[in-house]
Structure 1
Amino acid sequence: MRVCLLGFLMFALPLQAQETPQVLGYGVRSCEHYNDVFEGWENGQAEQIAEYLHYRDWLTGLVTGLSLATATDVLKGVEVKGAMRRIQVYCDEHPTDDFFTATMDLIRILSGLK
């Protein structure tokens, strides 16, 4: 199982080097945008709550796909709310990165590959 995940993660790394992005949806949004959304979500701002839910849905779709493809729980039992918070911490430290990169950083940490 770990070999499958490692193979996928190694394949996913070069996506940033390609001219045509392979990541779609909220994954291409900036960490800076996610930080703004996260702050608005915490403060109960209706528009930001809706945006936060879009990010959460994107994350759950990616995690579900990866988990099914690798036959393993890529979040290693971490709840989605905790994953969203950890991604926010990453984004705080790397505001110019995108949401996909922040998500993959978390998955790599949880899988022991980082």
Structure 2
Amino acid sequence: MDAQHLFPGTLRAIYDTLRSHVLAVDGGIIEEFAKTQVSYGAARKFIWLSPLTKSKALLTVDMWDEHRDPMIRDVIRYREDKFTHQIEVRTAEDVEAVSTLGWFAEAARWGRKER
């Protein structure tokens, strides 16, 4: 699987924006494609992007702490040090908003196991 097949049409701008922001955080981040998503990780995976429809994707971000924001669809506490944030994204601007909040950098710290 690759970006062209997983994120066609309008989803491509969402993927491209996410990729550029996440990889800019740290040169050691690894991008990995699976059948239904792309993930980003370091010592452990911390961000996933999964297409939901032709115009909407689910952005999943693991962080040390819980964040509340109207854009967040759900927050799941898996354990004391892991909060999984699910965000529906429809545009590249939605991804930009998440980046502006500093969540990609925070997620990368969680992925590197750096508090």
Q: Report the TM-score range of the alignment, normalised by the length of the smaller protein.
A: 0.3 to 0.5
TM-score by length of 1: 0.35
Looking at secondary structure, tell me which structure has more helix per residue. Answer: 1
Looking at secondary structure, tell me which structure has more strand per residue. Answer: 2
Higher relative contact order by CA 8 Å / sep ≥ 6: 1 or 2? Answer: 1
Radius of gyration: which is bigger?
1
